[in-house]
Structure 1
Amino acid sequence: MRGAFLMATALLAGCAAPGPRSAPVPRDRAAVEAALMRHIEILASDEFGGRQPGTAGEAKTLRYLAREWQAAGLESGTNDPANPWFAPVELSLTVPDRSEARFYRGGRPVALPDGAATVFTSSSRGLVERAPVVFVSGAATQPERAELAGRVVITPMDHARVAEQREALVRAGAAAVLTVVEGDRERAGLTAQRRRGGYRLAGSENPGALDGYLSPAGFAALIGGDRARELLAADSPAVTRLDLAASLEATASASTVRTYNLIARLPGRRPAAGAVLLLAHWDHFGTCAEEPAPDLVCNGAVDNASGLAVLTELARRIAAGPRLERDVYFLATTAEEWGLLGAQAFAENPPVPLNTIVAAFNLDTVAVAPAGSPVAIVGKGLTPLDPGIAQVLKQAGRREGDERMAQGYVRRQDGWALIQRDVPAVAISSAFAQAGPLDRYMTEHYHQASDEAAGIELGGAAEDMVLHIALVRHFSDPARWPASAGKSPPAP
């Protein structure tokens, strides 16, 4: 990896100055779609190996993006002479070794079907001995510590706040969290993904809590089929104590991975007036299947080569237009798929003070909806940006879709790492505005080897790209969006 990035830096240093700037945004959507497809076909090709952090696919991805961005007229945005363009992010990689799950009722072992329970740890070893077991429904997002401390929690998977709930359960002292996953295919995919390893920021707090997956048949074997179905269907926030104890153990091997965020800047006339940030995560899962599967690579065409394509075309077309007042930063983050880690690293060590970023727009999984689709604002109501966004949408003739669905993705995208630090960040996308196209993608291709460039839908993505040009021009203009507008919520 070190050699690959030295090569990338040498390549950048040797690039000729950008040639004449291209024409403004084309009115022909087909031309925009063709430009996006060119980037997606490259970034989602087997040559890039699924863009996993710490692999040769990472070096190829960042080298390609940096070359495209520099040719567009951008400059390094790290503000670190020792690390131009590429901001280092150190991760700890934990790869599972073995695990065991045993349950007891009245001191006697309870038999489980083969493969019904799988347990993982984020440290070298996690161990729970004969801990009481409780069930927590999906409605219990803020459980009391007294009810959970030292206990093994069983909870359902099929609700929108499952990741948030798991964090809350661990904070409340749960010794382990086992999630009941309904579909065999989904459970197998989640388990296979975890067995390939997990990342966290090096030096970050690591409580080492155990977690894992339990099949419905396994849950039924523990407490009976009727009782299991009743609890899984319950919407009460109550914590239910089960007549069970659990002994869980998992071990793992740890190593360090050095990966990178790519940061570029388009200088404005008035850098002191603040900055606009555009971001998209570059990473995916690399090799995500095993032989004899016919396709072993998760290429991540929609998630998130499509976001990178839009980000890259935005760089080229915004740089080709009139010079903006504020700086615009372009950020391609690493390790989003493992918990928004690259975005967290950016927020912990930003190239500019976070309070000078007046607006941030995240681009993730954008190539889903057809042309003419409405848009949704992931993060609406959480930032002061809403009035300005509404103005731009009206001027662009874009309508809003189902905001309720969009809000289920707030915590699952890089913008959340910024919102937590009071950076006004949203994702504005046609992909999250209506259930049909998104549901089909999530069911058929999300985090699977079938997420490839062939047959990808770019109509909505092309329109979203043009919309983001208008958004950047609006929020980069202090006359239209004063810095003070982003410091307090809008009046009711």
Structure 2
Amino acid sequence: MRLLLALPLLLAACQASTAEAPETSAAPSEATMKRLTERLSSDEFEGRAPGTAGERKTLDLLVAEFTRLGLKPGNNGSWFQTVPLVEIAAKNVSPLTFTGGKQTVSAAYGPEMVVATYRVTPRVEVKDSPVVFVGYGINAPERGWNDYEGVDVKGKTVVILVNDPDYEAEGLTGPFGGRAMTYYGRWTYKYEEAARQGAAAAIIVHDTVPAAYGWNVVQSSWTGAQQMADAADGNADQSAAIGWITNDKAKALMASAGQDLAALTAAAKRPGFKPVDLGVVASVGFENDVRKHQSKNVVALLPGTERPDEYVLYTAHWDHLGRCEAVDGDDICNGAVDNATGTAGLVALAEANVKAGPTPRSQLFLAVTAEESGLLGSAYYGEHPVMPLAQTVGGINMDALGFAGPARNVVVVGKGKSGLDAYLDRALAAQKRVASAEPTPEKGFYYRSDHFSLAKHGVPMLYFDGGDDLVTGGKAAGEAAAKDYEVNRYHAPADEYDPAWDWTGVMQDMALYYRVGRELASASDWPNWVEGDEFRAIRDKSRAGK
């Protein structure tokens, strides 16, 4: 999901739109937003976990809403795209123990460590696996960086730091983008690389600042059933165990091995770092309840009038965590902000566009599954697109709309990356607001929501968060609101609908989504990524072969 954001500042060279300014009389409905956000985040929907009764209720509601609006089923006559998943719930988890050092270090499941597996297997057993500290766990030959250089970790347990080596930089220059996180900093990459290296287990050291969330988020997100992408080989090429360990336990592990976590972390930030064999062994075991199932993306189409084979895409994830770690007896993670708001926004945008009438280009409204499990639904769409990606002009992603109140700005995740910035700038000018770059690019929000799954395939995607410069209270109030949500409600049972919410800022932002999408669907130009962007070559190749 998201919190509050930032990434590199670049100047976007973009083509001007050929369309007239879009209609504003058909602005998204606040009543629709409230009604659907409250309904989707009610206890009746049980936190909208994929593969549960909450999913069925969510799908039924979305189909009913899109049918009411007169949209068309978007996947060859079906409202759904099937996404094959496997649900794995760990049980009877033993402590993660490290032996062979000065003293045995044991971490308890939940408060001190979490562990899971991508492998579709009833039992995982890692026993007396040699432990190697591999710094940030990055192998990036194009950047001259390899944290695995000179060591064979096949069958071993690797301990990994979160984020990139240069996340503490003041600016945006450095081997990994300076303060701005690259994909190498994401936990998903670290497990992928550990598996490629043959590691039996991969354990990430949690640290609140570089992770961008507290241990409570790790614990609530990683305990209970986990959704994985299914594969013919049962994901046999993945590490047997993946997980996290608290910073305090990691310090104890290093001390037992005669090392110092702070000193090792400092060394790992420098080029030429060499992995360190800690001289201890790790053991952990757990059983799995395994259930294969088919979740669904919801696909709704508003056909275009002149160029129906050109598509503007709107995305939002409908899922949340379902039942999670109980707080004060409440074990439903309702996901009101994250992402009942974005899902409601998808319907409200469709409703406004129907009211205004079809555009020259087709508009595709995509509610995706399993974002909380690693962008699985949008990744599946990117790999198995319903509409050709070469004919997908661009898109907008909505994830966790904020209720801090009206702001003078919006925070653009990936500001300066594509020509879509120009569309947003025009919409903002009409509101006398501005676009700002992310204030916390080290948190890697660009890689944490569904726009990334489409960007990887070359489709320009716009993703922005509510502003952090509030009309009432300015930047200080914006920062306080973001921190309050992150600490008290993000991925927790407290993310519930509040009738007292101030919808003013949300509806300002919804008007931006509407205007940008409407203009893009009425235009004839094809926005691209800026020269030198990581996704530019993919887009150019895609468009050349259309």
TM-score normalised by structure 1 residue count: 0.83
| Letter matched to residue 321 of structure 2 | F
Rounded to whole Å, the distance in 1 between the matches of 2:284 and 2:92 is 11
Write the deviation string for residues 103-139 of structure 1: whole angstroms up to 9, x where unpaired: 2336x87243655444322221444443332324459
Give 5+ residue unaligned stretches, structure 1. Answer: 1-21
Q: Superposed, which structure 2 residues align to 1:214-293 within 5 Å?
A: 214-224=245-255, 227-232=260-265, 236-237=269-270, 238=273, 239-272=275-308, 274-290=310-326, 293=328
CA shift in 2, pair 1:375/1:172, >3 Å: farther
Name the counterpart of 1:167.
192
Gap change, CA 1:260 and 1:387, over 3 Å in 2: same
Q: Distance in 2 between matches of 1:392 and 1:141?
A: 41
Cα drift, residue 282 of structure 1 = 0.4
Percent sequence identity over aligned pairs: 29
Aligned runs of 1:302-381 on 2, under 5 Å?
302-381=337-416
Tell me, yes or no, if structure 1 residue 201 matches structure 2 residue 205: no
Cα gap change, 1:192/1:463 in structure 2, threshold over 3 Å: closer, same or farther? closer
Tell me, yes or no, if structure 1 residue 119 matches structure 2 residue 115: yes
Q: Which moved more, 1:380-389 or 1:368-377?
A: 380-389
Q: 1:357 to 1:220 in 2, by over 3 A?
A: same
Tell me how far 1:469 sits from its aligned partner: 1.4
Correspondence for 2:434: 399
1:213 to 218, 240, 244: 244
Relative to structure 1, the CA distance from residue 86 to residue 246 in structure 2 (aligned partners, 3 Å threshold; closer, same or farther) is: same
Is the deviation greater in 144-153 or in 255-264? 144-153
> Match for residue 486 of structure 1?
528
In the alignment, the residues of structure 2 paired with residue 478 and residue 335 of structure 1 have an alpha-carbon distance, to the nearest angstrom, of 32
In the TM superposition, what is the alpha-carbon distance from 1:268 to its structure 2 partner? Answer: 1.2
Alignment of 1:23-172 (within 5 A): 24-25=25-26, 32-79=29-76, 81=77, 84-100=78-94, 101-105=96-100, 110-112=104-106, 116-123=112-119, 124=121, 125-138=123-136, 142=140, 143-146=146-149, 147=151, 149-150=153-154, 151-157=156-162, 161-163=185-187, 164-172=189-197
Mapped to 2, the partners of 1:334 and 1:268 lie a distance apart of 26
2:504 counterpart letter in structure 1? G
| 1:288 aligned counterpart, secondary structure | strand
Whichever structure has more helix as a proportion of its residues is 1
Tell me if the contact between 2:100 and 2:279 (Cα under 8 Å) persists in the aligned partners: yes
Quick one: distance in 2 between partners of 1:41 and 1:188?
25
Shift of 1:194: 2.7
Verify: 1:448 aligned to 2:492, yes or no. yes
Distance 1:488 1:272, change over 3 A: farther
Whole-Å separation in 1 of the counterparts to 2:215 and 2:126? 23
Cα gap change, 1:114 to 1:88, in 2 (>3 Å): closer
Q: Residue 468 of structure 1 corresponds to which residue in structure 2?
A: 513
SS for the counterpart of 2:507 is: helix
Which residue of 1 is the match for residue 329 of structure 2? 294
Per-residue deviation, 1:211: 1.4
Change (3 A) 1:376 1:148: farther
In 2: Cα distance, 1:204 partner to 1:379 partner:
35
- 2:452 is matched with 416
Give the distance between the partners of 2:532 and 2:217, measured in 1 at CA. Answer: 43
Unaligned segments of structure 2, at least 5 residues: 1-22, 141-145, 168-180, 470-477, 537-546
CA spacing shift, 1:188–1:60, aligned 2, 3 Å:
same
CA deviations on 1:343-372 (whole Å, 9 max, x unpaired) are 122222222111111011110011244212
The answer to whether the 8 A contact 2:378-2:454 is kept is yes
Find the aligned partners of 1:215 and 1:487 in 2 and give their Cα distance. 39
In the TM superposition, what whole-angstrom CA distance separates every residue of 1:455-479 from its partner, at most 9, and x where no partner exists?
A: 4443322111101111012211234
CA distance in 1, matches of 2:67, 2:249: 54
State the alpha-carbon separation in 2 of the partners of residues 273 and 182 from structure 1. 47
Secondary structure at the aligned position of 2:285 is classed as strand
User: Which structure has more RCO (C-alpha within 8 Å, separation ≥ 6)?
Assistant: 2
- Which moves more between the two structures, 296-305 or 166-175? 166-175
CA distance in 2, matches of 1:221, 1:350: 47
Within 1, Cα distance between the matches of 2:201 and 2:416?
34
Please tell me the residue identity of whatever aligns with 1:95. A
Give the letter for the 1:403 counterpart.
E
Query: What do the CA deviations read for 1:134-181 (whole angstroms, capped 9, x no partner)?
Result: 324459574344436323222345776342434334334433221233
> Equivalents in 1 of 2:24, 2:264: separation in Å?
60
What SS does the aligned partner of 1:95 have? strand
Q: Secondary structure in 1 aligned to 2:400? A: coil
Code of the aligned partner of 1:215? T
Single out whichever of 150-159 and 247-256 deviates more from structure 2: 150-159
Q: 1:432 to 1:175 in 2, by over 3 A?
A: farther
Instruction: Report the counterpart of residue 13 of structure 2 in structure 1.
Output: none
2 CA distance for matches of 1:139 and 1:173?
13
Q: TM-score, normalised by structure 2?
A: 0.75
3-state SS of paired residue (1:389): helix
CA contact (8 A) 1:33 1:459 kept: no
Cα 1:408/1:118, change in 2 over 3 Å: closer
Preserved CA contact (<8 Å) 1:76 1:85: yes
Which residue is 1:4 aligned to? none
SS at match of 2:518: helix
Are the structure 2 counterparts of residues 78 and 431 from structure 1 closer, same or farther at C-alpha, using a change threshold of 3 Å?
farther
Runs of 4 or more consecutive aligned structure 1 residues displaced over 6 Å after TM superposition: none
Match of 2:522, SS?
coil
* Counterpart residue type for residue 424 of structure 1: P
Partner of 1:190: 218
Relative distance call for 1:381 and 1:139 in structure 2 (3 A) is farther
Residue 273 (structure 1) shift: 5.3
The within-5 A match list for 1:429-448 is 429-430=465-466, 435-448=479-492
